[in-house]
Amino acid sequence: MTSTIESPVTSDNTAVPHYQMFIDGRWVDSAERYEIINPATEEIVATAAKGDVSHADTAVAAARRTFQEGVWRNLSGSARAAVLETTADALEARSEELAAAATREGGAPIYLSMGLNAITPISNLRYFAELARTYRFELPGPVVGGIAHGGVVRREPVGVCAAIVPWNFPLALAVWKIGPALAAGNSVVLKTDEKTPIGALELARELQAAGLPDGVFNVVTGDGEVVGAHLASHTDVNKIGFTGSSEVGKKVSEAASRSNLKRVTLELGGKGPNIVLEDADMQMAVDGAIWGFLMHAGQACESGTRLLLPASVHDRFVDRLIERLKDVKIGDPLDATSNLGPLIDAAQRERVLGYIELAKQEGATVACGGGVPAGVDKGYWVEPTVLINVTNDMRVAREEIFGPVLCVLRYETVEEAIAIANDSDFGLSAGVWSNSVDTALEVSRQLEAGSVWINDFHMANENYAFGGFKQSGVGRELGANALDPYTEVKSIQISMEPDISKRAYGLALPTPAPAWSR
């Protein structure tokens, strides 16, 4: 039975709202809480419960109980789809509210929050609902040796799934894990990032209102090094989906294998090459390069942060790029005319500024930007920064900066561009710009990246799988096979005649054969 629908928010008789965790169908507070800070103004947006290991254990126990009881997994795919679709409808009715909340807690411009923290997760939920309805959870197996030997191949939910998501696109990346997990019949524990928990908690409210049984979906807040690490090593968690840095992803994978060999899906860091070919539409490629490295102030794993330019057009392209950047409006993220928001916090700002100083030490040149915008005294802002004279052996060309910093590299031949692009520990994304689709496809086929965009960047289409090569991750999210990582394959084989191994021992099935086989 589902409990009374309540809000995750309590006022505490103050002007600042307080968010609680969602565990086993109830809103749960904690002794400790932390502040959610607006990155643009440094004002306190809200406070949130600070969960700990005990909260994670309670959430996992609830998820384990509901999975064993079968209150969700035993429903038909269509019944599960209906809950997801009802949730998507409710979120759509609140999309403007959700987008504004995401901008206040995460700093993304409102147009981006509306797209990636409202419209996109809503569309994704509907996509996963359709998969729940159409996914072949059971198929007849191949017939071997005639009609007497066949079987059934089943895909069954894996069990308790833990999802750990970062702060940059918190609701979208949560739905990429929660959606297929629930569609396949699993129970879920979501660990939000402590900086951006609001969207996930509102999602919990709408899932409960849509009829999701208590305990099937749980949201725990708290420190990643405490709660996230505990979930990764928890022996009652069967599957973990993580998005974040490659460094932390390795720790998650290690903990998962050391504890109970749980299944893992990891979407990790990137250093996306964005290759402009000589025949590209220059203005389109300039705008695409800006979008590729500036979306959400560069705080996206798949950002196009290495721009590879032919020597023949390098100088003209860079001049046009710098001129175009003058049109980028830095300002209040809630202002619909603002293009660029702040970084998430002071630590991230200092990290990015530190990389810019490192670039100078390595011999790169700051062609534009390089510091904090003039006149800014509040918020965690960094100017759009273009580094030229960059070579691929520099740390700024090899390490993920996660800020509005573009490294421009020069190449002589297409073969050299491909070699530079692939000379990286990462392989999450890449872009190719050309007026010839055939040429762009030929280059794309040679790039070591999970997603390659031709004449575009940042296209996260739910019909196409997303994930990385090399240290950019393990497994895929989205796409027609999105439910596969959240299921186990069971083979059931049926034989009504002794096979050769049985005959070798003089064994046979009981006779007479059952009536249904005659």
- pLDDT of the residue at 1: 35
User: 59: closest CA among 228, 270, 260?
Assistant: 228
Gap between the Cα atoms of 431 and 369, Å rounded = 24
Pick the catalytic residue: 301, 400, 407, 448? 301
pLDDT digits 0-9 by tens, 96-142 = 999 999 999 999 999 999 999 899 999 999 999 999 999 999 998 88
Cβ neighbourhood burial of 446 (10 Å; 0-12, 13-18, 19+): middle
β-strand partners of 205: none
| Tokens 């009981």 belong to residue | 510
Q: Are 313 and 439 in contact (CB under 8 A)?
A: no
What length does the chain have?
518
DSSP state for residue 313 in the 8-state scheme:
T
Token pair listed for 267: 């979407």
- pLDDT of the residue at 511: 54
The DSSP H or E segment spanning 182 is: helix 170-183
**Residue 488 known to be catalytic:** no
pLDDT digits 0-9 by tens, 262-321 = 999 999 999 999 999 999 999 999 999 999 999 999 999 999 999 999 999 999 999 999
> Which residues contact residue 146 at a Cβ distance below 8 angstroms, ignoring those fewer than 6 apart?
none
> Which residues contact residue 418 at a Cβ distance below 8 angstroms, ignoring those fewer than 6 apart?
275, 443, 446, 447
Residues of the chain with CATH 3.40.605.10: 22-267+483-487
Per DSSP, the three-state class of 281 is coil
pLDDT digits 0-9 by tens, 303-319 = 999 999 999 999 999 99
Gap between the Cα atoms of 294 and 217, Å rounded = 34
The DSSP H or E segment spanning 494 is: strand 487-495
Q: Which residues of the chain have pLDDT under 70?
A: 1-7, 9-14, 145-149, 496-518
- pLDDT of the residue at 252: 95
Q: Are 319 and 408 in contact (CB under 8 A)?
A: no
> Which residues contact residue 305 at a Cβ distance below 8 angstroms, ignoring those fewer than 6 apart?
270, 271, 272, 292, 293, 298, 400, 401, 405, 406, 407
Pick the catalytic residue: 267, 383, 400, 477? 267
- The CATH architecture that domain 22-267+483-487 belongs to is 3-Layer(aba) Sandwich (3.40)
Gap between the Cα atoms of 349 and 351, Å rounded = 5
Gap between the Cα atoms of 133 and 77, Å rounded = 5
Residues of the chain with CATH 3.40.309.10: 273-461
Token pair listed for 438: 């055939």
- pLDDT of the residue at 503: 62
| Tokens 């996963």 belong to residue | 128
* Helix residue ranges, H only, 380-487: 395-398, 414-422, 437-445
β-strand partners of 454: 432
Token pair listed for 1: 């039975």
pLDDT digits 0-9 by tens, 421-442 = 999 999 999 999 999 999 999 9
Gap between the Cα atoms of 516 and 452, Å rounded = 53
For the beta carbon of residue 383, count every other beta carbon within 10 angstroms. 21
- pLDDT of the residue at 496: 67
DSSP state for residue 516 in the 8-state scheme:
G
Strands 26-28 and 385-388: unpaired
Q: Are 419 and 384 in contact (CB under 8 A)?
A: no
**Residue 267 known to be catalytic:** yes
Gap between the Cα atoms of 86 and 122, Å rounded = 10
Gap between the Cα atoms of 89 and 81, Å rounded = 12
The DSSP H or E segment spanning 348 is: helix 346-362
Gap between the Cα atoms of 146 and 484, Å rounded = 30
* 120-134 helix and 170-183 helix, angle to the nearest 10 degrees: 10
In words, the CATH class of domain 273-461 is alpha beta
- pLDDT of the residue at 2: 41
Gap between the Cα atoms of 106 and 39, Å rounded = 7
For the beta carbon of residue 140, count every other beta carbon within 10 angstroms. 9
* Helix residue ranges, H only, 2-51: none
